[in-house]
């Protein structure tokens, strides 16, 4: 098996909803006839790969991928819109994801969205996603985890996630009511989509391991994207800071192994460093499809200086064990009596 645990999907009714909007996030057709997605960081061409599951499946077969996690497009910001507007749309999208899993014989695995403007509605939808639809979990904007205080605002949702067991991908994205940060003066794509994004992933992981969230919600698995950002390269500095400034409180590097990670849009050198720090049993294949179209197996895993066992672990074993555990948790909670 080859399981891609990081991709995005804009189908399931989102196309129609976004076409009807007049402000971002929205779809529009330019004067040259090209359909583009207007998002917080600009516009990009919107091809069939973003919303047609058959295109996705064909690409998977071409690359040898057997399973792919399709997520609600969290970075788009649709889940931040007023709940009265977006909650029915997200609910229909989640139904569609569940049906895609059935229609594809399990090859497509859906990670749901929730309407974050109203946490009561979000909690109810999360319970429905796990209890009734059987999807493994949800995607959340990572800006809610940039600090301990911000993470506390989502405790009702995390408590609901803990009820049936739940996987949560913490993906770059804004909070409700939050404006996009100022755009860099130059090199925008590189500064935002690489340097800033990797830094933000590290901030999220830091919040998770320095808080009580992992202990308070033990049935929830948290996925940090892009190999935890810069952590594989700065953890020794974090340890040095603790050793010199807080000698009685060592930096809890070992707690990083209580999170899960994907290698989306990264390559073999980054994967090697992450495996040394985090262990192959915490790392999963990831593509960030359709934003990136590289085959994650041949691009990142094959050239990496890892053992055959480590490569197999990253390619499918870590994800398979995690998804199986989530299924078992749900079965236990949903069994009468």
DSSP labels, 276-322: HHH-GGGEE----BTT--S-HIIIIITTSS--HHHHHIIIIIHHHHH
pLDDT digits (tens, 9 = 90+) for 32-84: 999 999 887 778 899 999 999 999 999 999 999 999 999 999 889 999 999 99
The packing angle between helices 197-210 and 231-245, to 10°, is: 50
Two tokens, residue 24 = 């971002």
- Would you state the pLDDT for residue 181? 86
In sequence order, the 6+-apart residues with CB closer than 8 A to the CB of 259 are 205, 208, 209, 214, 222, 223, 224, 228, 282
DSSP 8-state assignment for residue 184: P
> Is the per-residue pLDDT at 16 higher than 70?
yes
Q: For CA atoms 47, 52, 57, 60, give the dihedral sign.
A: positive
Cβ proximity of 6 and 287 under 8 Å: yes
- The number of beta carbons lying within 10 Å of the beta carbon of residue 328 is 11
DSSP 8-state assignment for residue 218: T
pLDDT digits (tens, 9 = 90+) for 77-116: 999 999 999 999 999 999 999 999 999 999 999 999 999 9
> Is the per-residue pLDDT at 334 higher than 90?
no
Two tokens, residue 84 = 């009265």
Cβ proximity of 316 and 1 under 8 Å: yes
- Which residues in 180-210 are b (16+ Cβ under 10 Å) and which e? eeeeeeeeeeeebeeeebbebbbbbbbbbbe
In sequence order, the 6+-apart residues with CB closer than 8 A to the CB of 206 are none
Cβ proximity of 235 and 241 under 8 Å: no
Provide the domain count of the chain: 1
Give the integer Cα–Cα distance in Å for 193 and 198: 8
Give the integer Cα–Cα distance in Å for 197 and 151: 18
Q: How confident is the model at residue 337 (pLDDT cuts 50, 70, 90)?
A: low
Q: Is the peptide bond before 290 cis (omega within 30 degrees of 0)?
A: yes
> Is the per-residue pLDDT at 180 higher than 90?
no
pLDDT digits (tens, 9 = 90+) for 200-224: 999 999 999 999 999 999 999 999 9
- Whether this model's pTM surpasses 0.75: yes
Cβ proximity of 160 and 216 under 8 Å: no
Give the integer Cα–Cα distance in Å for 218 and 165: 8
pLDDT digits (tens, 9 = 90+) for 255-267: 999 999 999 999 9
Residues paired with 171 in a beta bridge? 141
pLDDT digits (tens, 9 = 90+) for 1-15: 999 999 999 999 999
Residues paired with 37 in a beta bridge? 27, 44
Q: How confident is the model at residue 24 (pLDDT cuts 50, 70, 90)?
A: confident
- CA 98 from chain centre, in angstroms, equals 17
Two tokens, residue 275 = 């495996």
Which long-range contacts (C-beta less than 8 Å, at least 24 apart) are formed by 237-244?
none
pLDDT digits (tens, 9 = 90+) for 287-331: 999 999 999 999 999 999 999 999 999 999 999 999 999 999 999
**SS3 assignment for 258-287:** HCEEECCCCCHHHHHHHHHHHCHHHEECCC
The residue range of the domain holding 91 is 3-334
In this structure, what CATH number is given to the domain that contains residue 258?
3.20.20.140
Give the integer Cα–Cα distance in Å for 286 and 296: 6
Residues paired with 168 in a beta bridge? 138, 222
């Amino acid at each position: 098996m080859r399981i891609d645990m990081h991709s995005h999907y804009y189908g399931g009714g989102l196309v129609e909803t976004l076409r009807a909007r007049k402000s971002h996030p929205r779809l529009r057709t330019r004067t040259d006839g090209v359909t583009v997605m207007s998002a917080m960081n600009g516009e990009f061409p919107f091809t069939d790969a973003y919303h047609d599951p058959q295109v996705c499946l064909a690409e998977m077969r071409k690359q040898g991928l057997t399973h792919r996690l399709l997520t609600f497009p969290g970075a788009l910001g649709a889940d931040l819109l007023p709940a009265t507007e977006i909650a029915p749309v997200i609910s229909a999208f989640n139904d569609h994801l569940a049906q895609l899993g059935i229609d594809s014989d399990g090859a497509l695995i859906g990670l749901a969205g929730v309407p974050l403007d109203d946490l009561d509605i979000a909690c109810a939808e999360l319970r429905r996603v796990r209890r009734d639809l059987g999807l493994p979990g949800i995607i959340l904007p990572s800006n809610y985890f940039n600090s301990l205080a911000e993470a506390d605002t989502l405790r009702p949702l995390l408590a609901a996630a803990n009820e049936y067991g739940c996987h949560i991908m913490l993906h770059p994205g804004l909070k409700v009511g939050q404006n996009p940060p100022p755009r860099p003066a130059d090199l925008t794509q590189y500064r935002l989509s690489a340097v800033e994004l990797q830094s933000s992933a590290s901030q999220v992981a830091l919040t998770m391991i320095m808080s009580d969230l992992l202990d308070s919600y033990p049935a929830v698995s948290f996925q940090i994207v892009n190999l935890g950002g810069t952590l594989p390269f700065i953890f020794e500095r974090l340890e040095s800071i603790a050793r010199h400034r807080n000698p009685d409180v060592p930096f809890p590097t070992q707690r990083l192994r209580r999170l899960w990670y994907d290698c989306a849009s990264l390559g073999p050198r980054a994967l090697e460093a992450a495996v040394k720090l985090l262990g192959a049993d915490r790392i999963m294949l990831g593509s960030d499809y359709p934003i990136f179209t590289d085959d994650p197996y041949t691009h990142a895993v094959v050239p990496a200086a890892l053992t055959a066992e480590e490569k197999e672990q990253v390619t499918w074993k870590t994800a398979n064990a995690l998804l199986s555990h989530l299924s078992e948790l749900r079965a236990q909670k949903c069994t009468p009596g």
